[in-house]
Amino acid sequence: MMKGLLMSWPEKRLLHGDGAVPAVGWLCSATPEELLLAAGFRLVRLYGFEARGEESEALLPTTFCAYVHGVLQAALTGAFRHMAAVVVVNSCDAMRRLADVWQRHVKAPPVYRLDFPFGSGPTAEGYWVNVLKKLAAYLEALSGRSMTEADLRQAVAILNETRRRVRALDGLRAAPKRGISGTDYTHWMVKAFVEDKRRFLAESAALCAHTEGLKDDARTALRVVLGGCAADARPLVRLVEGCGTRVVGDALCTGTRHFDTLAPESADPLRAVARRYLHRAPCARGRYGFCGSHPAPGSSNARGRSDFSVPEVL
């Protein structure tokens, strides 16, 4: 379906930027994309790097996940050297050690450590807001331009629309008789991770319009929901669907879960961004979720459901 709009990875223009817009790489879903976008950078999630090498295994424990090893191996070979920076969140021991090794052994680009708090109460929120202010100052120095409140509000709106679009595509993936395959959905999800957001929104709108005229497919297949941690889902989805099943949902760290929860567009934009990341869907980092607490009221951790609604943090 619309194969011409599907992407291959990696593409140099995504890793290095388009010459006019420098790229900033990021790994963890706690990375506040809104600030990177408001500062004028192209956002590129470092996705699809899982090939271990002798260099990475000499610097990190072999028990660390393939994602961290793959990113480090790519960095050591210069895959990201044209990026302006890479943001690493202290989301787990592997990410913390990745930042340590990056600072010592990777010449370019520089790595920025982002300290995400445990907890989601007033103290954690105040701390996180201050962390984001420091990140904003770093990005301003890196880009050579000031980040205005209007810039941040626009970034919040663009990323909220991106999340809505991915959830709409997720609904098509979960449609019982018609829609898009799990393989096609995963390609579009990766585009939302690594491509220019406005370009993704324009191209995915064509896909959504195309599916409106499709007739019901009478064929039935076993419906599968994937769960797991940080991984490139594309080969796994192709393998599972190649066996005659249909992947209709996922709960992957590098999957659909990243796109839930909107940031309020009417509040103080910096605090709205802070609250969005504190109260998003749970992650294995903490006992009850990414921030070590129960999900915010009204949020959901449901996956693979056509009736999924994206909550907004109040």
Residue 75 lies in a domain: yes
Provide the percentage of residues in the chain whose pLDDT is more than 70. Answer: 78
Work out the widest C-alpha separation in the chain, in whole angstroms.
57
Residues 20 and 61 in one domain: yes
Using only C-alpha atoms, the chain has a radius of gyration, in whole angstroms, of 19
The beta-carbon contacts of 286-291 under 8 Å, at least 24 apart in sequence, are 286/118, 290/29, 290/30, 290/91, 290/116, 291/116, 291/117, 291/118, 291/119, 291/120, 291/124
Residues 100 and 208 in one domain: no
* pLDDT at residue 86 is higher than 80: yes
Cβ-contact 183, 144 below 8 angstroms: no
Domain count, the chain: 2
pLDDT, one tens digit per residue, over 287-300 is 444 444 444 434 43
Cβ-contact 142, 84 below 8 angstroms: yes
Its pTM surpasses 0.85: no
In angstroms, the CA 47 to CA 53 distance is 17
Residues 175 and 93 in one domain: no
CA separation (Å) from 217 to 167, 175, 188, 240?
A: 22, 10, 21, 19
Strand ranges for 189-314 from DSSP E: 223-228, 246-252
pLDDT, one tens digit per residue, over 141-192 is 999 999 999 999 999 999 999 999 999 898 888 886 667 888 889 999 989 9
Q: What is the CATH number of the domain that holds 84?
A: 3.40.50.11890
Residue 242 lies in a domain: yes
pLDDT, one tens digit per residue, over 228-268 is 777 777 888 898 888 988 888 888 878 888 888 899 987 79
Domain that holds residue 88: 15-143
Q: Does residue 238 or residue 213 have the better pLDDT?
A: 238
